[in-house]
Copies of this chain bind each other. A is one copy, B any other.
Amino acid sequence: MSPSDSSAVSHFAVTVDLVVLTVRRHALCALMVRRGEPPFQGRWALPGGFVRADEDLAEAAARELSEKTGISADGPTTSASGKGAHLEQLATYGDPHRDPRMRVVSVANLALAPDLPTPRAGGDVHGARWAPVSELLGKDGGRGTEPSPPPLAFDHAKLLADGVERARSKIEYSSLATAFCPQEFTVGELRRVYEAVWGVVLDPRNFHRKVTGTPGFLLPTGGTTTRQGGRPAQLFRAGGATVLNPPMLRPEV
């Protein structure tokens, strides 16, 4: 950061791209928009947009999230949690040729949200949907049983894969899995979040003992629900703990 001659400094367009994840119907899904203009016209892409001249990167990400989904951000910047989705910076991508039009540096952000209706499209976007990440990333192990989906625009497959991996590892040692749940939820619903994100099956009894025994993770609200069927389950909301110690263990192999 030392411009000997600031006239020699190159300038770049800067975008924020969003990896917005949710859990619907037992599957981890990402919000995708269909591009209405070249390049990559008609391809699916991550929502995002240019950072404005007077905007911080976190502000720009929150603005894009709000514009594209209608949900408000509730990341590490804002203090009160409960309403908005979790939003955090993921990584920055700056390959000189990642956008054929010009030099663009993209700051990817990760957003975790509860299940929501399919958001509206608008502007230069000709469609939006929640797509299972297993389809988008071809997670059938290359057996070729599924037809490969058309590739995503730009380097968005990599951004998406990095975001999914971040979410998978972060719910291990933090209470972020609750960001996928509605404000009040049951232990079983939280378990299904872990199962969907990790793609595994967890023992309901051990899971229950573990999460209810971690101080500050879950706060009982006193209410119960039978929306999953079976015996009425206690309702909880997210507690104040952010770091889980000891962590949830992701089963291996």
Give me the interface of A with B, judged by CB distance under 8 Å.
1-4, 6, 9-15, 17, 35-37, 45-46, 48-57, 89, 91-96, 99, 101-107, 123-125, 153-154, 245, 252
A154 touches B92 (CB 8 A): no
Q: Which B residues are CB-close (under 8 A) to A105? A: 12, 14, 51, 57, 105, 107
Q: Which B residues are CB-close (under 8 A) to A12? A: 11-14, 51, 105
Q: Which B residues are CB-close (under 8 A) to A153? A: 1
A154 touches B1 (CB 8 A): yes
If A1-B48, A35-B2, A92-B89 touch, does A14 touch B15 (CB 8 Å cutoff)?
A: no
A3 to B92, CA, bound (A): 19
From B48, B57, B154, contact of A94 by CB (8 A): B57
- Chain B residue at smallest Cβ distance from A57: B94
B92 touches A9 (CB 8 A): no
B92 touches A92 (CB 8 A): yes
Q: Which B residues are CB-close (under 8 A) to A14? A: 10-12, 14, 94, 105
